[in-house]
Amino acid sequence: MKRVSSEPTIKSVEPPSIVKSASTSSLKFFEPFTVDIEGDGPLGLKYYSIEDDIYIKSIKKGTVSDEFFEIYRDLQITKINNLDISAISNKEKIDLIESIWITNNKIVLEFKNGNFSKEIYDFLDNLDALYYYKHFIDLGANTLSDLEFIEEGDLIKMNMSKKLIKTVISNINSIYNK
């Protein structure tokens, strides 16, 4: 058997450069998004209405909805199973959600951000901590002045890393010149 000398042909491939624009992540936050919810047990959503729209008022702990970090307080529900719900009453919207859930234990909801706090969003975005936005809103932090009441224990309960906790607290303290 004759040996053949071979050289691998590896081309140099440069990874694409990623440019993070402040406006890119902000724009995505305002876009409607869907969540496919499926599971056993109660859906666990409570609602409130403003004019012809329904919003998430609360999520009961230990329910199927509580397992989805994408679902949080004050999200507006804009579609149910890809159906436009703008022409039906708020009571009909809620009844439709409950009926679909009871029948199938599965539902697709489209949301858009309702009572959105740009100040908290920007604060967390600057720290690469947007994952915790829902937690801050749930604690009642809707403005920068509300951050004064955030304690280290609150951040620990969010399962935030020690390094990020230190960064968040430092940034909160810099707002109040502590």
Euclidean distance between CA atoms 26 and 125, whole angstroms:
9
Euclidean distance between CA atoms 176 and 156, whole angstroms:
21
Q: For the segment 14-67, what is each residue's pLDDT rounded down to a tens digit?
A: 333 333 333 334 445 568 899 999 999 999 999 988 788 898 989 999 999 999
State in Å, rounded, how far the first CA of the chain is from the last one.
78
Question: Which helix (DSSP H) or strand (DSSP E) does residue 135 occupy?
Answer: helix 133-138
Euclidean distance between CA atoms 55 and 49, whole angstroms:
6
Q: For the segment 121-168, what is each residue's pLDDT rounded down to a tens digit?
A: 889 989 989 888 878 988 889 899 999 999 999 999 999 999 999 999
Q: Which two tokens stand for residue 56?
A: 């998430």
Asked if domains 26-113 and 118-175 share a fold, the reply is no
| Residue found under tokens 């579609």 | 79
Q: Which fold, 118-175?
A: DNA polymerase; domain 1 (1.10.150)
- Per-domain residue ranges of the chain: 26-113, 118-175
What pLDDT was estimated at residue 62? 94
CATH architecture of 26-113: Roll (2.30)
